[in-house]
Amino acid sequence: MTHTAANPMKAIILFDSKTAGGSTEHLIDSIGLELAKTGAYVEKARCKTTGDYSFIKDFDVVIMGAPIYYLLVSSNLLGALLQSNLKKYLTGKKVALFLTCGSPELMANLLYLPQLKLNLVDNTILAEKIFAPDQLSDRTIIEKFVRELNESFRQK
Ligand SMILES: Cc1cc2nc3c(=O)[nH]c(=O)nc-3n(C[C@H](O)[C@H](O)[C@H](O)COP(=O)(O)O)c2cc1C
């Protein structure tokens, strides 16, 4: 299907964070605004381990993002992937991933991203990014993530 102004890409950002209004939520708002500038329709929803994720049927792209706490992806997003119907409704979906954390990118790529990717082996991953603390408000880096997501969406 061609996504035009009349038929925009619909993206949902599923996120988790223990910090209300924290760095992850600010980043999500920046990513959402940047994506909306490209014409996409964007919503965000906070994850719950036992939530009902049937609503993601209505979206073309599912963007998942969370911080790392004590070496693990924040528990509601990881828990939702392991225990709820999220994985069922992710079948055939295009996804994008990002994490916020304090570790160096190499360590985060090795230790943290696989926690999500192991649950998404059948999905097309459009973009993935570890956001270090100094990148959370970096417009250039956020724009690059959104551009990569958009370009991959059109190609795949
Ligand atoms: C209690 C706590 C534990 C953390 N543990 C880790 C960790 O194990 N590895 C890491 O890279 N960053 C860790 N961090 C850093 C957070 O992942 C990072 O600051 C993130 O941006 C916090 O997001 P938030 O503001 O939405 O809570 C930790 C932060 C907190 C507060």
Q: How far is the CA of 133 from the centre of ligand 1 (A)?
A: 9
**Whole-structure pTM value:** 0.95
pLDDT at position 18 is 96
- Work out which ligand 1 atom sits closest to the CA atom of 103: 11
- Work out which ligand 1 atom sits closest to the CA atom of 24: 26
Q: What domains does the chain contain, in order, with CATH numbers? A: 10-155 (3.40.50.360)
For 85-98, what is each residue's pLDDT tens digit?
Answer: 999 999 999 999 99
Out of 13, 30, 101, 129, give the residue to mutate to test ligand 1, the one with the largest number of ligand atoms within 8 Å of its CB. 101
Rounded mean pLDDT of 45-60?
A: 97
> Which residues are bridge partners to 64 per DSSP?
14, 97
pLDDT at position 2 is 57
72: pLDDT strictly greater than 60: yes
pLDDT at position 156 is 75
- Work out which ligand 1 atom sits closest to the CA atom of 108: 11
pLDDT at position 7 is 72
Q: How many CB atoms lie within 10 A of CB 130?
A: 20
Rounded mean pLDDT of 12-18?
A: 97
pLDDT at position 4 is 63
Q: How far is the CA of 73 from the centre of ligand 1 (A)?
A: 9
Take atom 26 of ligand 1 and give the residue whose Cα is closest.
Answer: 24
Q: What is the DSSP string of 26-77?
A: HHHHHHHHHHHHTT-EEEEEE--TT---GGGGG-SEEEEEEEEETTEE-HHH
Q: How far is the CA of 67 from the centre of ligand 1 (A)?
A: 6
Length in residues, the chain: 156
Higher-pLDDT residue of 6 and 80 is: 80
Give SS3 for 153. helix
pLDDT at position 8 is 87
